[in-house]
Amino acid sequence: MKITIIHNDNKKQLLVSTKTMEKLLERIAKDDSKQSVTRFRDYAANIDEDYRFYKDMPTWMHVYPAAEFAKDENCNLKMKTCNGILLLKFNNITDPDGTEGVKRSVAILPSTFAALESADGKGVIVLVRFTNQNDKLPTSEPEAEQLYRIAYQQIHPIYQAVVKASLTIGAQVASVEASSAMSNEPSLHNSFMMTLDAHPYYNAKAVAMRIDSHYRTEGSDLQAGPEVEGKARNEDMDGKDGKNDIASMMQLLRSQYNFRYNSVMKYVEYLPKEKGWYGFRPVEPRVMKRMTLEVQLAGLRVSIKDVRNFLESDYIKNYNPIEEYLYLCHNKWDGKDHIRALARTVPTNNPYWADWFYTWFLGMVDQWRGYTHRQYGNSVAPLLISKQGFNKSTFCRRLLPPELQWGYSDNLILSEKRQVYQAMAQFMLINLDEFNQISPQVQQGFLKNLIQLPTLKYKPPYGSHVMEFPRLASFIATSNMNDILTDPSGNRRFIGIELTGPIDVSVRPNHQQLFAQALVALGNGEKCYFDAEQVKLIMQSNCQFEVVQPIDQYFRLYFEPADDEKEGEYMTAAEIFDFLKKQIGSSLKVSSLMGFGRKLANMTQLNHKRFSDGMKYLVKKR
């Protein structure tokens, strides 16, 4: 069994090493030459458990006991071997003998593999051995992840019952990986800070606890019980004073749950304090009714309206999951060009693709920062074109990390305008899948305007008036057909890219490095929009993807651009159309002369001039 140790060096390069458990215990038996842990404990003794700003945190080693990991091509952690080790962290120790008392308590249990004093000296790290019901460990990472989560559900109540301390999941600081730091849930990627303990508990012959992989919890997340009722009674409330009842209701709910208002999705989320591994979930109507019953069963005379008023008020702190994720990526870039490397997994003959994708990606991240006084939105969308089975949709979906997948949408219904505006204010990336199914009328009107909007104005559900919201979403699109752009003037809104083969999705993107690089680039003032020269190149490249109408073909058959009035003549769109009509007959049809005129105006090689009777184009008859 090998334990994984990970840290970033001074150049922000991810370093991965492994040690046997015996070697790890030798390592933590004494401090390093800089007395790093000793100095950290002196620092931690005077502050709460938020150590993000401690000077040595960026390069601190983190221990991943659950598996042996290695780096893939994008510096993501990839499981090699599952160790069958569950990590439990105990803090807020009430045992009279402190950390040593906790270590003695867990040593009684036969599955305890090790118990160590935590890096801050205030808690205990407990490692527990487990296996599946067949006495085997998974070989694939998804299966190992699932078994780990089930093991936590079955094991943590046993240890909580014998330890006089609080059990926590989240790290004291941001881990080496942004994803693991974001999560409050059990995971193979849970880690603890490299610590110091001269007398750890260690049992090399610990018996692995067998875990039923089909286990699932019964009933609701948290049921009202005697302890809830008892807490309310301890408040000594007689239920007659409405104000006191409401105050007690707020206090009772806060004692049972953590609440936060998701300012992106516009709903309140809750986390049962006794079951933190559930993770935050939306307060849905059934949950709110259960909470109301809990406080009523506790003897408080309140209604569901009172509970709703509390949960929908600004007593609940705001939480922005996008800001949280980007914060964890801040100052983590290793200096490599991860964004263009991701673009190069898309095989194409377009030499500008990597640079165009880079600019668009910066625009997407900048859009997430939610500024309300923008003049322009991220007004260009990559359009991936190929036959089916080339992994286009998979590529689009994997642009967002697992923690932010709620922000991805590929089923937008453009005909429902209010829902479209709401989606642009709440989602982070919208994939216009099957772009060829969007009608020319929508392309030329609503969609062209939609992509460049900097903010959204609409009346939210149950709202009383129109409100303005910052736009978050950027667009990307896919198509199985290559003649799809119907508006010559609007094709600058799309970066048409024809694939020459399937996209390589064999290696998972390193999302932390992608967004860390983007944040550095934006901080350095790199442009996240396309200048006039780039737009010109995009429009020239997109000509191959334009829908060629019969009228366009007939025009090229009978006319060509002229450079000199001596070679050709100036004609209006109506005169050109009338000439074509005489040559071809009644089979020639056009939806409107205005549209035909727009097509002529957008032909860059065609000279035009305004006369008293309208715009005329310099053409030469073939």
Other beta carbons within 10 angstroms of residue 278's beta carbon come to: 16
What is the reported pLDDT for 458?
85
CA distance 492 to 477: 14
Alpha helix (H) residue ranges in 175-214: 178-182
- Identify the CA nearest to 193 among candidates 295, 125, 96: 125
In this prediction, residue 230 carries a pLDDT of 44
Q: What percent of the chain has pLDDT over 90?
A: 54
Helix 321-329 and helix 511-523, axial crossing angle in degrees, nearest 10: 90
What residue spans in the chain does CATH classification 3.40.50.300 cover?
A: 325-545
Q: How many whole angstroms separate alpha carbon 427 and alpha carbon 527? A: 23
pLDDT score for 173: 53
Whether the Cβ atoms of residue 87 and residue 167 lie closer than 8 Å to each other: no
CA distance 76 to 554: 55
**What does the mean pLDDT of the chain come to?**
86
Q: Percent of the chain beyond pLDDT 70?
A: 88
The CATH code of the domain at 325-545 is 3.40.50.300
If we measure between CA atoms, which residue out of 127, 121, 126 comes closest to residue 37?
121
Mean pLDDT check: name the lowest of 517-521, 588-592, 596-600.
588-592
478 close to 496: Cβ distance less than 8 angstroms: no
Q: Coil, strand or helix: which one is 598?
A: helix
d(Cα 507, Cα 72) in Å, to the nearest integer?
7
Q: What is the pLDDT of residues 555-581, one digit of tens each?
A: 878 888 888 888 888 989 888 888 888
Tokens matching residue 108: 């009684």
How big is the chain, counted in residues? 622
* Rounded mean pLDDT, 483-504: 87
Closest CA to 78 of 148, 145, 11, 1: 145
User: Mean pLDDT over residues 248-266, rounded?
Assistant: 93
DSSP, collapsed to helix, strand or coil, labels residue 178 as: helix
For 560-568, the CB contacts below 8 A with 24+ separation are: 560/619, 560/620, 560/622, 561/603, 561/605, 561/606, 561/607, 561/618, 561/619, 561/620, 562/607, 562/618, 562/619, 562/620, 563/607, 563/618, 565/618, 567/620, 568/618, 568/619, 568/620, 568/621
**Burial status of residue 461 (CB atoms within 10 A of its CB: 0-12, 13-18, 19 or more):** exposed
| Confidence band, pLDDT 50/70/90 cuts, at residue 431 | very high
The pLDDT, as a whole number, for residue 385 is 95
CB 346 within 8 A of CB 393: no
Question: What pLDDT shows up at residue 423?
Answer: 92
Q: What pLDDT digit, counting tens, does each position of 165-212 carry? A: 888 865 555 555 655 444 567 889 999 999 999 999 999 999 999 998
Q: Pinpoint the residues of the chain covered by CATH 1.10.10.
A: 550-621
Fold designation for 550-621: Arc Repressor Mutant, subunit A (1.10.10)
The amino acid that residue 103 corresponds to is K
pLDDT (mean) for 302-330: 93
